[in-house]
Amino acid sequence: SQTIHQWPATLVQPVGSPLSLECTVEGTSNPNLYWYRQAAGRGLQLLFYSVGIGQISSEVPQNLSASRPQDRQFILSSKKLLLSDSGFYLCAWARLAYNEQFFGPGTRLTVL
């Protein structure tokens, strides 16, 4: 069976500090991978998606970046966090050519 992991579960960071969130998927190969952000009381906003190693598409201009160094690893980064970066970050995966996405447990980020 497939599983998706995210860490850390919660994070409190000062404004201007760097960020690295990690997502890994087990039990599947060549998945499509996605990063979403959910602000309090809001829907999911797609930030980045990837169809393969080193292939990243950005949906929203911002101070975040994403990388996919391995087939089942997806990393979300920032060099300098802003207050507006606070939110619930969700990683998701989907089988190639399928629409259904499976979500990880999420990371709650608070920028102070």
Partner 1 sequence: GQNIDQPTEMTATEGAIVQINCTYQTSGFNGLFWYQQHAGEAPTFLSYNVLDGLEEKGRFSSFLSRSKGYSYLLLKELQMKDSASYLCAVASNDYKLSFGAGTTVTVRA
Q: Is 99 in the site for partner 1 (CB under 8 A)?
A: yes
Peptide bond into 14 cis (omega under 30): no
Residue 82 phi, psi dihedral angles, 5° rounding? -110, 160
Closer residue to partner 1, CB minimum distance, 83 or 97? 97
Q: Is 77 in the site for partner 1 (CB under 8 A)?
A: no
Q: How would you class 106 by CB atoms within 10 Å of its CB: exposed for 0-12, middle for 13-18, buried for 19 or more?
A: middle
Closer residue to partner 1, CB minimum distance, 13 or 95? 95
Q: Is 67 in the site for partner 1 (CB under 8 A)?
A: no
Binding residue for partner 1, selected from 1, 29, 43, 54, defined by CB under 8 A: 43
Check if the beta carbon of residue 35 is closer than 8 Å to that of residue 94.
Answer: no
Q: Is 97 in the site for partner 1 (CB under 8 A)?
A: yes
Q: Is 42 in the site for partner 1 (CB under 8 A)?
A: yes
Rounded Cα–Cα distance for residues 104 and 29 (Å): 17
Binding residues for partner 1, rule: CB under 8 A, are: 32, 34, 41-46, 49, 88, 90, 94, 97-106, 108
